[in-house]
Amino acid sequence: MSFDPTLIVEAWPQLMRGLETTVWLFLAVMILCTPLSLLVALARLSRRRWLSRAAGTYVNVIRALPLLVILFFTFYGLPSLGIFVSPFTAALGGMVLVTTAYLAEDLRAGLMAVPRGQFEAADALGLPQARFVRRVLIPQALPIMCGPYFTRAIVTVKATSIASLVAVSELTSASMAKVTETYRAMEYLAFAAVAYILLSALIAVVQAVVQRRVRLP
């Protein structure tokens, strides 16, 4: 057994393209899921029965399905309905559907950790609900949400590897393509592993910065 780093250097452009796709997929998922999951979390806490029920049903159904099954739905299922999208878009759609459900639960826990007294004070002052959410609830929930949010981000960055099974040439897929092409596994998998670790580390750095900024005085 030998480890030949020059193999990585030779495959660098392909591997980097895969990494790039992973990063874009991840960023697109998080950018879409963050506001959506906040809305779902707020909906679940809403006093309007039908709204909290609808949100709860969505979360519970989606949570029960394997990510891969959902990606197969968006990849194979949509075209059978006459909706044709690129593999990237299909994967993005499926991942947004799933990640929003999980993230909504994470954020809901943060919202629920804000003390009851805050709701009562706002009610007693007659603060409109939207203003309460924006000015009181979210600023106080943010520091609590941070940890679970970024943990979910790290889970999501790794989950993008599943998109390799629906024809998206992301990091795992690009690495595996080289493995089957050259019959050398260690080099390319090592590249992929290091890249995932670096991405997670980067997320942890962002978390530390954000956590400092949203801390309550």
Q: Which residues bind other proteins (CB under 8 A)?
A: 115, 117-118, 120-121, 123-129, 131, 135-136, 139-140, 216-217
Whether the CA torsion 171, 67, 42, 150 is positive or negative: it is negative
d(CA 122, CA 120): 5
Choose between 13 and 128: whose C-beta lies nearer to other proteins: 128
Please state the closest distance from residue 107 (CB atom) to other proteins, in A. Answer: 17
d(CA 78, CA 121): 48
Other CB atoms within 10 A of residue 84 CB: 9
Please state the closest distance from residue 52 (CB atom) to other proteins, in A. Answer: 16
Structure tokens at 217: 């005085």
Choose between 63 and 131: whose C-beta lies nearer to other proteins: 131
Choose between 121 and 204: whose C-beta lies nearer to other proteins: 121
d(CA 192, CA 176): 9
Are 97 and 173 in contact by the 8 Å Cβ rule? The answer is no
Please state the closest distance from residue 57 (CB atom) to other proteins, in A. Answer: 25
Choose between 116 and 180: whose C-beta lies nearer to other proteins: 116
For 203, the enclosing helix (H) or strand (E) is helix 186-214
Angle among Cα 143, 146, 151 to the nearest 5 degrees reads: 160
Please state the closest distance from residue 141 (CB atom) to other proteins, in A. Answer: 10
Choose between 1 and 125: whose C-beta lies nearer to other proteins: 125
d(CA 160, CA 26): 7
Please state the closest distance from residue 88 (CB atom) to other proteins, in A. Answer: 39
